Every structure is written in structure tokens, then in C-alpha cells.
């Protein structure tokens, strides 16, 4: 039988940051031990990363791109050949952390 936290254990072994759900604080907190117990009564997850919104702005050369908006993770490549705006949001608070104008 597969361990209920198998995917999280594998992510931890690969070096990803792990969080546990604190019922006392009613929020996710970073796992700080080097040797987790992987208790089936505890909720574990891979710590989420910031997310990025790209959106084209201004007049566009329609030969190249249509106006679009998409969401990616922090490793997402920027749009090419168009003027765009990049907004990085905090994954927990959903507040913008960084805004950048990208000239095509």
C-alpha cells in the first residue's frame, strides 16, 4: 500500500520545501526538522511558489500576437515580440510583490 504522503516525501527528497498544517494556528507553516515523521494524522504539502501574470499591453502588431493574459510559475518565460506587463504575486496573500514592463 502506498504511503499517504508519498508524493510529498519524494518532493522533500528532491529538495523541495515542505510545509505542515498547524491546527493551532490554522495556517500552513514551514517544516523545520531535517527528519520528518510523515505522520498520517498531519497534513503536509510542497511549499507553493509565487505566481506570475503576464498580459500584453498597448497597440499590437497582429501579425505576431493576439492580446493575451496567462498565469505561470516563477520559472515561466516572458512573452516574446510584444509589449507586456509582468506581475509577480505572493501565493499566500495574493498581493502583488513586483511589477515589470516588458518591451517587445
Span 24-44, average pLDDT? 93
Which of 37-46, 47-56, 81-90 shows the highest mean pLDDT? 37-46
Is 59 contained in some domain? yes
Q: Which is more confidently placed, 30 or 100?
A: 30
Same domain? For 23 and 37 the reply is yes
Overall number of domains in the chain: 2
Same domain? For 82 and 39 the reply is no
pLDDT in tens, 88-99: 888 778 888 888
Is 1 contained in some domain? no
Same domain? For 40 and 66 the reply is no
| Containing structural domain, residue 16 | 6-46
Q: How many CB atoms lie within 10 A of CB 45?
A: 16
The pTM assigned to this predicted structure is 0.55
pLDDT score for 98:
86
Amino acid at each position: 500500500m502506498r504511503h499517504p504522503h508519498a508524493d510529498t516525501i519524494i518532493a522533500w527528497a528532491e529538495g523541495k520545501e515542505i510545509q505542515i498544517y498547524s491546527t493551532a494556528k490554522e495556517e500552513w507553516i514551514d517544516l523545520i526538522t531535517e527528519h520528518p515523521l510523515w505522520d498520517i494524522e498531519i497534513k503536509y504539502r510542497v511549499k507553493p511558489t509565487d505566481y506570475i501574470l503576464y498580459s500584453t499591453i498597448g497597440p499590437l502588431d497582429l501579425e505576431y500576437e493576439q492580446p493575451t493574459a496567462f498565469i505561470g510559475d516563477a520559472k515561466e518565460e516572458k512573452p516574446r515580440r510584444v509589449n507586456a506587463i509582468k506581475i509577480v504575486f505572493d501565493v499566500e496573500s495574493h498581493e502583488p510583490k513586483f511589477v515589470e514592463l516588458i518591451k517587445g
